[in-house]
Copies of this chain bind each other. A is one copy, B any other.
Amino acid sequence: MAYSVDFEPVGRRGPCPEGGTLLDAARSLGVDLASVCGGAGTCGRCKVQLIAGSLTDVTAGERHSLSERELSQGYRLACRAWPLGDCKLHVPPESLTALQRTQVEGLDVPVEVKPPVHSYLVQIDPPSLEDLRGDDQRILAALRTVHRIEAHIPDLAVMRDASPALRNSGWQARLTLRGREVVAITPPDAPWLGLAVDIGTTKIAGYLVDLATGQTLASRGAMNPQIAFGEDVIARLIYASKGPEEAAHMQELLAGALNTIAAEACAEIGADPSSIVEAVVVGNTAIHHLFLRLPVRQLSAAPYVPAVRAEVDVKARDLGLRLAPGAYAHLLPNIAGFVGADHVAMLLATRVAASAAEQRGAVLAIDIGTNTEMCLAAAGEMTSLSCASGPAFEGAHIKFGMRAAPGAIERVRIADGHVEYKTIADEPPVGLCGSGLLDAVAQMYDVGLLDKRGRLAHGPHVREGENGIEFVIAEEAQSGNGQAITVSQHDIRELQLAKGAIRCGIDTLLQNAGLTPGDLDQVIIAGAFGTYIDVASAITIGMLPDLPLERFSQVGNAAGTGARLALISRTMRHEAQQIANRVRYLELARAPGFMHNFAVAMYFSPRGNGPTS
């Protein structure tokens, strides 16, 4: 029997080929592990870390390639290690040949650049025998004399660096003020930067922004490293609830990822992270609490209330972020236990609040992810809810599911009895990403291979597999790893649950407002996955309501864009606060008609109605 191998955070799992090494397993599963020596154990590039399970003993070659420290942490060369049971492995980013595709573009909303920080270039009087004032006094005097501003420097971290730095810079400096607080004293010729970050359950997107112009200078994507502790947030909340060390560990994972993003984005433009004088971070309520190391036990039990709902301004260093020593991180407010700051950011970027205020018809905004949050703005009211759509769109629990990486099938068409597909980077197929799975199921339904209940019938490209019948997208011969890429009955059920949850949310919001799907003037689809899906396919299976395609817009990472807007505009920050106060939270499971809606939403049908219609 082949052992199962799970590579994280790339999210690929499957059997290890008979007698194969971890590198063989990685290749068969489409994990692009680097290997310069071709598996000879000499280049040391295919490093992976054992998280769970057991492997053959460490070889002499590995002792040579890996440090004592790496060995003690369970690092191995994938080409020299054979599984002795089911294994879970962590793949460090440097061991991957290709970066995953991560959504970092998002919307671009015009906004007046008016960040919450101000910058002043000053020439400060140096001390002398005739001028014995403290350094703090002379800095503030420079602001007072030239700029007529009465400021203060309450943060010791700012002064700790300032005294030696000013003596090295000829007493010239750029002072960054936040209100009346001097938060940074930086060299006059250094750039003046802000950092906006959207921490998703699975992915993190970071943007480095010029605070003077509002321009995004660099952007980076990364995987959320907490994923090793659970793909859904509930598992992470339970882990963090175990004790202060576990909570600190979850926090530090995120801080480390954000520091890497900041350092890499800065390196791209030749800057130093100490030039980042303000940050905005968004995430769902669970991620928000984990990142702030707030108590989470009450988030994982009814009635699921946040410890902190209000917007937060905290010294970035107190979160372990290495920016300017006095820089603040701003976290947008949460709405409820399952509708967080990222939803507020999405509503900010998509201007849904403005639509609601101006009563511009009914607008539905959906951010599809492991948890899907959505908001209906209609008749001047905004109502939001969250539904647990699960990680199927991210490739989890799907036999050939994988995240959007090279070799993932992202489009499927059945034309004239032939199955056509397109892979990311046009590489030989190794799996299916969310949009590919959605397309495949929609096409199967369209050609009559699926009934409304989602039962797969025998027909062309359908065969008997190891675990029941399956639909074949790519034959063994076409595949990049020698395995046919198929969709099983079980995979269809997983997608059905996900799409059912989303549609149930939509229908519940509409009913709550006394509307029908046809009343929707606009449907905004946000989030990385939402950007790549074929809306027509989503309508076909009844995930999205059957409306003219022109009413849909796919806006990319709106939460990230919202974070950027809040970074460069005080007005936007204020608006975010108003959104959080105004949005009414609807708890899906307690809404009238929930059970009926969910049952109906599970059916495959563009109308989303039951089999009797």
Contact = CB atoms under 8 A, between A and B. Distances in A.
A369 to B, nearest CB: 22
Interface in A460-488: none
Interface string A122-160: 000001110111111100000000000000111010011
A336 B132 contact: yes
B164 A303 contact: no
Interface string A202-219: 000000000000000000
Nearest to A318: B156
A19 to B, nearest CB: 47
A560 interface: no
A67 interface: no
Interface stretch (A292-300, A353-361, A492-500): A292-300
A462 to B, nearest CB: 46
Interface in A280-335: 292-295, 297-298, 302-310, 312-314, 318, 334
Given A164-B297, A293-B160, A294-B159, A310 B129 contact: no
A3 interface: no
Given A160-B295, A164-B297, A295-B160, A136 B310 contact: yes
Given A293-B156, A295-B160, A295-B164, A308 B132 contact: no
A156 B312 contact: yes
Given A132-B585, A134-B334, A135-B307, A156 B298 contact: no
Interface string A161-182: 0111001000000000000000
20 contacts: A127-B298, A128-B303, A131-B303, A134-B309, A134-B310, A135-B306, A135-B307, A135-B308, A136-B306, A136-B307, A136-B310, A153-B310, A154-B312, A156-B308, A156-B312, A159-B307, A163-B295, A163-B298, A163-B307, A167-B298
A596 interface: no
Contacts of A295: 159-160, 163-164
A152 B314 CA distance: 13
Contacts of A336: 132
Given A129-B303, A129-B590, A292 B156 contact: yes
A337 interface: yes
A308 B159 contact: yes
Contacts of A163: 294-295, 297-298, 307
Nearest to A135: B307
B156 A309 contact: no
Number of copies: 2
Contacts of A128: 303
A356 to B, nearest CB: 21
A133 B164 contact: no
Interface in A575-595: 585, 587, 590
A356 B131 CA distance: 25
Nearest to A305: B127
A510 to B, nearest CB: 22
A401 to B, nearest CB: 34
A292 B160 CA distance: 9
Given A133-B309, A135-B298, A303 B156 contact: no
A154 B313 contact: yes
Contacts of A309: 133-134, 136-137
Given A127-B305, A167-B298, 19 more contacts: A127-B298, A134-B307, A134-B310, A136-B306, A136-B308, A136-B309, A137-B309, A152-B310, A156-B293, A156-B312, A156-B318, A159-B295, A159-B308, A160-B293, A160-B295, A160-B307, A162-B307, A164-B295, A164-B297
Nearest to A306: B134
A313 B181 CA distance: 13
A152 B308 CA distance: 11
Contacts of A152: 310
Contacts of A167: 298
A144 to B, nearest CB: 13
A303 B127 CA distance: 7
Contacts of A129: 302-303, 590
Contacts of A156: 292-294, 308, 312, 314, 318
Interface string A221-255: 00000000000000000000000000000000000
A478 B228 CA distance: 75
A131 B309 CA distance: 13
A303 B309 CA distance: 50
A298 B163 CA distance: 8
A309 B136 CA distance: 7
A306 B156 CA distance: 13
Contacts of A307: 134-136, 159-160, 162-163
A90 B115 CA distance: 54
A305 B135 contact: yes
Nearest to A336: B132
A608 to B, nearest CB: 28
Nearest to A165: B295
